[in-house]
Structure 1
Amino acid sequence: MTTFDDLVAHIDQAGIDADPLRDISKLKSDITHDEALAVQLAVKRRRVAAGDRIIGHQASFTSSGIRKLFPDAPRPMIGTLLASIACTDGDEIKLDCDAAFIESEMALLLGRDLEGPNLTPTDVLAAMDGVLPAIEVAPLRPGVLEGHYSWPHLIAVQKAAGGYVVLGSRVTSVHRIDPRLEACLVGIDGEARAAAAGFEAMGSPLKVISAMAAGLHRIGEKLHAGQILLTGSLAPPQRITPDNNFAHLEFATLGTVCVRLR
């Protein structure tokens, strides 16, 4: 019989996010999305015990653009962010894959704990300390676009390795913007590629955070004060290769964030 600890040990292996033959569903065919999230969090806690630190969470598959690529994906898919994948504005990163996606995101800073299945946007807004621009560099692993992995496996390996979150340096009060209307422009190597507004994130980034809190609540967890919460790519993810040199994200009010690629 496969135990929870067996599942955690299985996911906490190098290369597990790039090998469909090691899909978690092969160990437990009836694993649920919530169980997979619990496995993901347990793996991250192993890495905390080894010296890393949990800094927040990120939602994926929230916008219409990304859902055109993955129409049956969980919405949102929750990932746990570690300090080891966080970068600052202007940092240089190295891709460990042939292709990746640049995702344009809002990062909200949590001022107090949020817990529960039915939080309103007003509840979320009251708990926020500020918001800043963010880029996620998400590796494109073999077989993902082709649907070779189960959704529980993709949940369990969220933010496991190879990706980065790049945070802007300026924090803006959430009371200075309407998160639904805040617009952004994505550029690769100086060329404008895509634009969007906060509405793309499930109608409002605040709704995304409410959904993240509900998902964590189902496994006995909550969002903690001081965490950084990313609400999913607003513009359609932009594909990059090792030939690209930098990506740039500009918001109407929040300012800019840039990452250099090598």
Structure 2
Amino acid sequence: MMSAPTAPTAPDTTISAERAEEFAERLFQAWRTQTPTHPLTDDEPGMTLQDGYAVQQGIVRRLLAEGDRVVGYKLGLTSKPMQEMLGVDSPDLAPVMASHLRGDGAAIDTASFIQPKMEAEIAFVLGRDLQGPDCTPLQVLEATTGVCAALEIVDSRVADWKIKLADTVSDMASCGAIVLSGR
């Protein structure tokens, strides 16, 4: 299993571990039932980035308990316009689960998503784990064994995409599925 990257630093969490688990269950059930939920930040307006990562980890634990596995990581909010829209100055990240991946040419059933959108991406295939939060471009290049085109189906479990940063981080960085091209 790949080791988890270090989440970006942010203020301390503002919600309890129990509240984070409650939110994780809410998003997990929204995912399973394809029924959107209202923003977590409506219930907890002061949620921080770290709160979002705590909720995200609760979802990951549920997926792992079902037999899923972490196969990589995705960065979200990598463009300046998206960062400006959410009032941030750095990308967010989330694990990519095996259940998210689709192969080249796979048929995608849009009914399995709540409110899908598509984004063109570039996927780096790594031959070894990267260590630490301060990896250099050279370290990434040295660890890379391949690059392929990818289509990410972003899908928010938050109704009408009414998301703030803590909402999208909590929601696995709004990942629905990733289609990888052949290498």
Query: When the two structures are superposed, what TM-score results if normalisation uses the length of structure 1?
Result: 0.54
Runs of at least 5 residues in structure 1 that lack an aligned partner in the other structure: 171-262
RMSD: 2.8
Aligned with residue 9 of structure 1, among 22, 30, 39: 22
Runs of at least 5 residues in structure 2 that lack an aligned partner in the other structure: 1-13
User: In the alignment, is residue 90 of structure 1 matched against residue 108 of structure 2?
Assistant: no
Q: Please show how residues 175-254 of structure 1 align to structure 2 within 5 Å.
A: none
1:151 shift after superposition: 1.5
Structure 1 residues 159 and 106: CA distance shift in structure 2, 3 A: same
1:100 shift after superposition: 2.9
Q: Is the 8 A contact 2:124 2:144 kept in 1?
A: yes
* Aligned match of 2:8: none
Question: More strand by proportion, 1 or 2?
Answer: 1
Q: How many residues align?
A: 163
1:165 shift after superposition: 0.4
1:138 shift after superposition: 1.6
Structure showing greater radius of gyration is 1
User: In the alignment, is residue 18 of structure 1 matched against residue 36 of structure 2?
Assistant: yes
Identity of aligned residues (%): 26
* Aligned match of 1:174: none
In structure 2, how many angstroms separate the alpha carbons of the residues matched to 1:167 and 1:36?
Answer: 27
User: Residue 19 of structure 2: SS of its match in structure 1?
Assistant: helix
Q: Is the 8 A contact 2:41 2:47 kept in 1?
A: yes
In structure 1, how many angstroms separate the alpha carbons of the residues matched to 2:76 and 2:93?
Answer: 6
* Aligned match of 1:45: 61
* Aligned match of 1:72: 87
In structure 2, how many angstroms separate the alpha carbons of the residues matched to 1:88 and 1:78?
Answer: 22
* Aligned match of 1:213: none
User: Residue 18 of structure 1: SS of its match in structure 2?
Assistant: coil
- Name the amino acid aligned to 1:127: A
Structure 1 residues 133 and 127: CA distance shift in structure 2, 3 A: same
Q: Is the 8 A contact 1:58 1:79 kept in 2?
A: yes
In structure 1, how many angstroms separate the alpha carbons of the residues matched to 2:123 and 2:49?
Answer: 24
1:79 shift after superposition: 2.0
User: Residue 12 of structure 1: SS of its match in structure 2?
Assistant: helix
1:105-156 CA-to-partner distances (Å, cap 9, x unmatched) read: 1111122221223221112211222111111112366432xxx333212110
- Name the amino acid aligned to 1:103: E
1:26-64 CA-to-partner distances (Å, cap 9, x unmatched) read: 554433202311320232122111111111111111124
Q: Is the 8 A contact 2:24 2:58 kept in 1?
A: no
Structure 1 residues 107 and 169: CA distance shift in structure 2, 3 A: same
User: Residue 6 of structure 1: SS of its match in structure 2?
Assistant: helix
In structure 1, how many angstroms separate the alpha carbons of the residues matched to 2:96 and 2:104?
Answer: 17
